[in-house]
A and B are shown apart, each in its own frame.
Chain A
Amino acid sequence: QLQLQESGPGLVKPSETLSLTCSVSGGSISSRGYYWGWIRQPPGEGLEWIGSMFYSGNTYYNPSLKSRVTISVDTSKSQFSLKLSSVTAADTAVYYCARHRSGSDYFDYWGQGTLVTVSS
């Protein structure tokens, strides 16, 4: 059974860079047909897709966040990472990593989520 687990700081200061890692177990991060994505959910609000990356490097980002987001994959560690720069309080959210099926564009496996608070 595929499992995803987010890790990273729960508190980030304004203007700094948020960095999270998702560890994948029970399956290959190099699986054909799947991207690896990040989704966030501000407290009390809905889901917002941040971006997705194929293991070979092809990446899609939410246009509204594109200038601040970088997603990378480390196949040797079976991990993928999110960096979001110049954060503000508006970036406070629960951040989820998920497996993203290419073509059908659904997210079938999700991490449990990690709350990141932006505050000084």
Chain B
Amino acid sequence: QSVLTQPPSVSAAPGQKVTISCSGSSSNIGNNYVSWYQQLPGTAPKLLIYDNSKRPSGIPDRFSGSKSGTSATLGITGLQTGDEADYYCGTWDTSLSAALFGGGTNLTVL
């Protein structure tokens, strides 16, 4: 059971938009930065979003991140079949002095 809560799965049609939520508490998301990772089948996770809403070089602006209070959201617009993957949120927990990952959300592009 992860400290950070994500929906197990989401789905949407090609070209549509989807959002993935990540819920935590004041000791983690509420007072620390959130990052998001994409894990394509059989590959290592890839950083998509850092510092709540910043995109590393090479990540298209179809991917966006936001944070409000103790929750964060990843948005993906213009869905493509290549976006089918598992998505994880991450942050630091100040009380635990530990890095945390959400349980992961599997995205299906129908």
Could you tell me which A residues sit within 8 Å of B by CB distance? 37, 39, 46-49, 52, 60-63, 96, 100-101, 103-108, 110-113
Contact = CB atoms under 8 A, between A and B. Distances in A.
A86 B106 CA distance: 33
Interface stretch (B10-18, B19-27, B76-84, B94-102): B94-102
B104 A46 contact: yes
Interface residues of B, number: 27
B63 interface: no
Instruction: Provide the main secondary structure of the chain A interface.
Output: strand
21 contacts: A46-B2, A46-B88, A46-B102, A46-B103, A46-B104, A47-B104, A49-B98, A49-B101, A52-B99, A60-B98, A60-B99, A62-B99, A63-B97, A63-B98, A104-B35, A106-B33, A106-B35, A107-B35, A107-B37, A110-B45, A111-B44
B35 A60 contact: no
A104 B51 contact: yes
A57 B45 CA distance: 26
A63 B100 CA distance: 11
Contact of A110 (B2, B44, B92, B104): B44
Interface centre among B51, B92, B104 (most CB of A within 10 A): B92
A33 B102 CA distance: 24
Contact of A62 (B45, B51, B98): B98
Interface centre among B32, B35, B43, B88 (most CB of A within 10 A): B35
B109 interface: no
Contact of B92 (A39, A62, A105): A105
Contacts of B88: 46-47
A96 B44 contact: yes
B67 to A, nearest CB: 13
